[in-house]
A and B are shown apart, each in its own frame.
Chain A
């Protein structure tokens, strides 16, 4: 139970952080919202794209379903530059997958290629 919970906790944190993102995204024009939320030692950073769609990621737990272009990163380090670069590259990847005509925007991204690429980016920047 405890171990399993530890595995799910990041997702819960990210989901809960949406409340804050939701308000914050309308108050700023910045794309990267740094450290908007934290729980214990885990910090949530969010990258909001122009069209207010959100995506989520985390170095340890990258969420495969990335929806409506808000990338959320749950991290414990504070390497701002790395996070920024990571977000930008993931955004690029996401746009590529959006261009796939068979991909229904809003649905889960099942591409393993996308997954490996994001994993590589995470290792590179975070």
Chain B
């Protein structure tokens, strides 16, 4: 059998094209392709080369329309035993092709050429074309037969030359054909085929052969007529031959003649579609039936119908051809030779002729029957050709699966021949089937995808649905796909194509690992390794093998490197563009990109980035990935390779990193993997599709799930853009980044070091706070930072931050204590109660013009979050606060005790006192009546010692002395030490808070606060709210500071304001407000009222006892006294004053039977009027009869008291007298009784 047969093959002159000498294969192909353009030489063009030696036997030669056809066979072909039967199988001409530069000796060329063609007896014409001869060869004028030199020139000239040469050859052949036909007509040529028995003929057969001879001669003449381009003549001869052959029952030749006649018909139709000559021919030759049909069709002047008529005719005759070839089958020859190949060739010819989509069914039947004949074919190469042709025809028909099926048969036939070239052929054939079996290599897919898309565009929807259904279905023919891939692998290994083998093994392993046993998987892995060994290192393959790689996540910038859009129009350029909302600890900042499917990522030139991918090895062998890195198409990314070992059936999430190198978008398509010795690209999209298919049950299995990896939502690659470098601040806390451990209320400075690790200076910085307990950051030395700007790359700045430990809540402190008990203090950190510093910073704005033209070109700023890792430990704890009152009687002395400013003045004078003296804060001569102390009970549950110091800030506004604020305002008390696990009490005198005078306006506030009076004094405005009182209390409290110190560098303030407030709430009025009247006594002995006042500071250096003795009163002596009354209100008070003196026992020593004191002057019922804020004195004298301790008490009944006084006295009714009593004054009377 011959490949590529068609009905027209019968009219083609076969010419062998032989390379002479050394011709490079590319040039040979090139020359061959030049020849191929001259397959058809019109008869009209060869007339100049043609000379009619005798009358031409081709009477109806169509010189105007006809042509000669050639079939160039590169390399020639072995002579066929059927040459006599079909002259088109003969090699009738030889064209040698010589490439002159490689074969300089033209004589040698001629010799070689002659040797080449002489082996072939049938050759009628021979020429040797010598291309691109050198000058010497051109000058060599020696005449050589059959050698044609093609002078070097441009291509078109060469083609013209070649065409002329071909016309010459055509003319020569035509003349040879004439000669042959004339000879055949005259002399009887014996024509035999292998079908005729070779043995000595019996007499009967000789007679039979003689009878048949004429028919065969006629048929052969017809064949030559056909070759000579004269179909009409051929037809005439064929008609004769048909008649004769039928008579002699020479079925084989009958069929051959019939084939020839169909070819003649087609040639006629092709050359003269509408000429009436056709009719004539048919009148001459054919039976009535077809002529009528043809007439009918010609009369209806429509090409389509005529085509149908011809088609029917061809089909009819070819069926007859097939039948007759089958009839010619002779049983006794069957072992040796069989006409089956002719039958099959005829079938293929018909099928090729009919091969159209509309006739698919008929063609398919023809091809199926042809395929059926294959099993009777003896020769394997015949079978091969048959299957090749069937596959080609099915492919033309659009039956891809059928074509693939037969291609695979071809491949199997090739594989049966155990040689390398056959294996290469098998591999190539199998590669063609991969599309139909959907196991294509990636390289072929990329080429075809475009054409596929355009194809589907035409198809109507119903059909498309159908096709998609079918394709869905086909994707499940996994058994077939595996078989095909395995065959490709086998053939590639045999053919020595390691890359193809690698690719096939990779496809097999990747797609069908669930269907392959572990042993098989190992085998494939070995095949991959073996193939890779034969490949040069660095070979790339389009088909990925293992592992499966999917995108796991794209981590966003860590909080240290957040990028913030900059709004150049605003001072706070970072505002409104915080990337992660109000929360510091959002899921994003944890590195999980859960919801960033369509998110945009910004990468920065020169800053390393990371991408998480998950690898899976679902196979039963250890997979070692030599290197894996991100495959970035855009080319502006340096990916860092990584090597991974994956145990069998395992998956692993790895971090791939890289550095963007230039500005622009980054497109990450997948990963480039170097595994099994070959570099492949694994695209994320493919795996996504695979996983999608697995989810729908269409794909065998999900490689990640079978490795035990949890199901993951598909992560799509966000659009990533790279921007120019930005500054990058890194921070650390000086002295270590560990937790800052503070006791409650402790105040401490920490230093935060900020360094610019980027390559761009920082020009704008802003620090703000976020998170819980922001008030624990007392101050940030923002100025330090400002002054350091611009912060150059590599520069650093340290800013102090003052922190204060916040209060632990009860539960919190409990847990903290509990944790402390377990010895893990650090755990309190993770509740996230620490504040964070938000540092927004940015580089230079860039060109001002740039900004104006393009706002988006402003380089973004960044945000650094510095979490202050503060761990607050429970420190000194406050237990309770109590208000204590105390009375210390005053001594009566000569010195005038100042009744005014009694709160502030004594202490103002006491400022200069030494520390010890300050313990005695109370002027013994003035006494302290109604003195109140705030007692704070503190406990120290910690294991360190605390020192407590209490300071009271005095009210500055009221102090007219205007002493230096620092000194006067703070009043220090000695430190109290509290040992670990001990309690301590601290007393805070509240004396100093009394207001200088009793004022209605001030007092009215208190009235309301006091529940009992509020109801009664409803004339006071309700609007004097409790808030105002609270404000004044707060003012009071805020002046009390309890500070502690522990160790060398822990100090802080105890927060006990609430407790103090609670303690003070009930008796705040008493603390704050002075009595309306204050009373005082003094000795008026020397009458000098004012002299001692200035001396007092000096005198106070002496002991109390000394003062007391100096100012002592002697018994039996008339001692003048003065009682001083001060009005603390702003209104004049009239009163009825009385003075009493009591002895130690408390009995009245002035009146009564046992009176021990004699007096002079008025002691009771003294009517006084004291102007506002003034003092009035009243003198009297006492004569003590008995030495000892006496107490003087002044009391007054206020006449016509106003509301203020009443309220202060908490009197029940308006007519109740208001009684004021002064503090007792001690008088020590010396002397003997």
Q: Say yes or no: B360 contacts A15, CB within 8 Å.
A: no
- Whether A68 and B469, one on each chain, are in contact in the complex, defined by CB atoms closer than 8 angstroms, is yes
Q: Residue B261 at the A interface, CB < 8 A?
A: no
**Residue on A nearest B405 in the bound complex, by CB:** A16
Q: How far is the CA of A41 from the CA of B590 in the complex (A)?
A: 67
* Contact across chains for B361 and A15 when beta carbons are under 8 A apart: no
| Known contacts A13-B405, A23-B360: A106-B480 contact under CB 8 Å | no
Contact with A along B443-480 (1 / 0, CB 8 A): 00000000000000000000000100110111011011
A13–B770 Cα gap in the complex (Å)? 73
Measured between beta carbons, the chain A residues less than 8 angstroms from B477 are 11, 15
Q: Which of A78-126 contact B (CB under 8 A)?
A: 104, 106-108
Q: Which residues of B contact A39 (CB under 8 A)?
A: 368, 371, 405
B402 touches A19 (CB 8 A): yes
Among A12, A23, A53, residue most surrounded by chain B Cβ atoms (within 10 Å): A12
Which residues of B have CB within 8 Å of A5? Answer: 412, 483
Check if B141 is an interface residue, CB within 8 A of chain A: no
Contact A65 B476 (CB under 8 A): yes
Complex: A35 Cα to B102 Cα, angstroms: 61
CB distance from B593 to the nearest CB of A (A): 31
Complex contacts, B696 vs chain A, CB 8 Å = 104
Q: B401 contacts A15, CB within 8 Å?
A: yes
> With an 8 A cutoff between CB atoms, is A60 at the interface?
no
Flag whether B628 is at the interface (Cβ < 8 A): no
Contact of B137 with A by CB under 8 A: no
Which residues of B are found within 8 Å of A1, using beta-carbon distances? Answer: 415, 490
In the docked arrangement, what's the CA distance between A40 and B376, Å? 10
Measured between beta carbons, the chain B residues less than 8 angstroms from A67 are 472-473, 476
Q: How many A-B contacts if CB must be within 8 Å?
A: 75
Q: Which of B468-519 contact A (CB under 8 A)?
A: 469-470, 472-474, 476-477, 479-480, 483, 490
Judge whether B105 is part of the interface by a CB distance below 8 angstroms: no
Complex: chain A residue closest to B360, CB-CB: A23
Q: A30 at interface (Cβ–Cβ under 8 A)?
A: no
Quick one: closest A residue to B469, CB to CB? A68
| Nearest-CB residue, chain B, relative to A104 | B697
Residues of chain A lying within 8 A (CB to CB) of residue B479: 8, 11
Q: Please tell me if B698 contacts chain A, counting CB pairs below 8 Å.
A: yes
* Chain A residue contacts of B983, Cβ below 8 A: none
Nearest Cβ on chain B to A84's Cβ, whole angstroms: 22
> In the complex, which residues of chain B have a beta carbon less than 8 angstroms from the beta carbon of A18?
401, 470, 474
**B473 engages A12 (CB within 8 Å):** no
- Among residues of A, the one whose C-beta sits closest to the C-beta of B398 is A19
Q: Which residues of A contact B361 (CB under 8 A)?
A: 20, 23-24
In the complex, residue of chain B having the shortest beta-carbon distance to the beta carbon of A103: B697
Is the CB–CB distance between B399 and A106 below 8 Å?
A: no
Name the residue among B408, B473, B698 with the largest chain A CB count within 10 angstroms: B473
Give the residues in chain B near A19, CB-CB below 8 Å.
394, 398-402
B1150 within 8 A of A: no
Whether B364 lies near A20 (C-beta < 8 A) is yes
Name the interface residues of B380-422: CB closer than 8 Å to any CB of A.
394, 398-402, 404-405, 408, 412, 415
A68 to B470 Cα, complex, angstroms:
8
**How many angstroms between the C-alpha atoms of A13 and B406 in the bound complex?**
10
Complex Cα gap A4–B696 (Å): 31
| Identity of the chain B residue whose Cβ is nearest the Cβ of A37 in the assembled complex | B368
Verify A38–B372 contact, CB threshold 8 A. Answer: yes
State whether the Cβ of B375 lies closer than 8 Å to any Cβ in chain A.
yes
Shortest CB distance B696–A (Å):
7
CB distance from A58 to the nearest CB of B (A): 13
Q: How far is the CA of A15 from the CA of B479 in the complex (A)?
A: 11
Question: CA A68 – CA B468 in complex, angstroms?
Answer: 12
Q: Measured between C-beta atoms, what is the minimum distance from B377 to chain A in Å? A: 13
Chain A minimum-CB-distance residue to B374: A40
Whether A8 touches B368, Cβ cut-off 8 Å, given contacts A20-B402, A40-B375, A104-B697, is: no
A29 at the interface (CB under 8 A from B): no
A106 to chain B, nearest CB (A): 6
Is A8 within 8 A of B483, CB to CB? yes
How many angstroms between the C-alpha atoms of A38 and B477 in the bound complex? 19
CB distance from B462 to the nearest CB of A (A): 9
Supposing A8-B483, A24-B361, A38-B372 touch, asked if A16 and B401 sit within 8 A by C-beta, the answer is yes
Indicate if A77 sits at the interface (CB-CB under 8 A).
Answer: no
In the complex, the chain B residue whose C-beta lies closest to that of A8 is B483
Chain B nearest CB, measured from A33 CB (Å): 12
User: In the complex, what distance in Å separates the CA atom of A11 from the CA atom of B473?
Assistant: 13
Given A15-B405, A15-B474, A108-B476, A20–B399 Cβ distance below 8 Å?
A: yes
How far apart are B1177's CB and chain A's nearest CB, in angstroms? Answer: 111
| Residues on A with beta carbons closer than 8 Å to the beta carbon of B412 | 5
Q: Restricting to B426-441, which residues have a CB under 8 Å from any CB of A?
A: 437
Please report which residues of chain B, range 1012-1059, place their CB below 8 angstroms from some CB of chain A when the two chains form the complex.
none
Please state if B405 and A52 are interface contacts (CB–CB under 8 Å). no
B371: A residues at CB distance < 8 A: 39
A54 at the interface (CB under 8 A from B): yes
The CA of A68 and the CA of B483, in the complex, are separated in Å by: 24
Which residues from A are CB-within-8-Å of B398? 19
Whether the Cβ atoms of B483 and A106 lie closer than 8 Å is no
Is there an interface contact between A12 and B408, defined as CB atoms closer than 8 Å? yes
Provide the bound-state CA to CA distance between A67 and B477, in Å. Answer: 11
Report A-chain residues with C-beta under 8 Å of the C-beta of B400. Answer: 19
Question: For residue B368, which residues in chain A have a CB less than 8 angstroms away from its CB?
Answer: 37-39
CA–CA, A23 and B375, complex, Å:
27
Using A11-B479, A104-B696, A108-B476 as known contacts, say yes or no to A16 and B470 having CB atoms under 8 A apart.
no
Closest Cβ of chain B to A48, distance in Å, is 12
Please report which residues of chain B, range 690-705, place their CB below 8 angstroms from some CB of chain A when the two chains form the complex. 696-698
Contact check, B375 vs A12: say whether CB atoms are below 8 A apart.
no
Knowing A1-B490, A22-B470 are in contact, say whether A15-B480 is a contact too (CB < 8 A).
Answer: yes
When the two chains form their complex, are residues A16 and B402 in contact, meaning their CB atoms are under 8 A apart? yes
Q: Report the separation of the CA atoms of residues A40 and B399 in the bound assembly, to the nearest whole angstrom.
A: 19
Do B490 and A11 touch across chains, with their CB atoms under 8 A apart? no
Interface residues of A in 31-69 (CB under 8 A from B): 37-40, 52-54, 65, 67-68
Is the Cβ of A107 less than 8 Å from the Cβ of B405? no
Most buried by A among B372, B405, B466, B490: B405
A68 — which chain B residues lie within 8 A by C-beta? 469-470, 472-473
CB distance from B175 to the nearest CB of A (A): 50
Find out whether the CB atom of B480 lies under 8 angstroms from the CB atom of A12: yes
Most buried by B among A8, A15, A20, A104: A15
Residues of A within 8 A of B490 (CB): 1
> With the chains together, A52 CA to B473 CA distance in Å?
13
Which residues of B, 332-365, contact A by the 8 Å Cβ criterion?
Answer: 360-361, 364
With a cutoff of 8 Å between Cβ atoms, the chain B residues found around residue A37 in the complex are 364, 368
Q: Give chain A residues whose Cβ lies under 8 Å from the Cβ of B405.
A: 12-13, 15-16, 39
Bound: A39/B406 CA distance, A? 10
Distance of A11 Cα from B437 Cα, bound (Å): 12
Chain B residues closer than 8 Å to A8, beta-carbon distance: 479-480, 483
A54 interface neighbour in B360, B401, B404, B473, Cβ under 8 Å:
B473
B405 to chain A, nearest CB (A): 4
Cβ A16 vs Cβ B404 within 8 A: yes
Which A residues are in CB contact (< 8 Å) with B401? 15-16, 18-19
Taking the nearest CB of chain B, how far is it from the CB of A9, in angstroms?
9
Q: Which residue of A lies closest to B696 (CB)?
A: A104
Q: Can you name 10 A-B residue pairings with CB atoms under 8 Å?
A: A8-B479, A12-B483, A15-B474, A16-B401, A19-B400, A19-B401, A23-B360, A23-B361, A68-B470, A108-B476
| Closest 8 A/B residue pairs (Cβ) | A16-B405, A19-B399, A107-B697, A104-B697, A19-B401, A67-B473, A16-B401, A8-B483
Besides A15-B480, A24-B361, 7 new A-B residue pairs in contact (Cβ under 8 A), listed by A number: A8-B483, A11-B477, A16-B402, A18-B470, A40-B375, A67-B473, A68-B469
Write the residues of chain B forming the contact surface with A, with a CB cutoff of 8 angstroms: 360-361, 364, 368, 371-372, 375, 394, 398-402, 404-405, 408, 412, 415, 437, 466, 469-470, 472-474, 476-477, 479-480, 483, 490, 696-698
The chain A residues found within 8 Å of chain B, CB to CB, are: 1, 4-5, 8, 11-13, 15-16, 18-20, 22-24, 37-40, 52-54, 65, 67-68, 104, 106-108
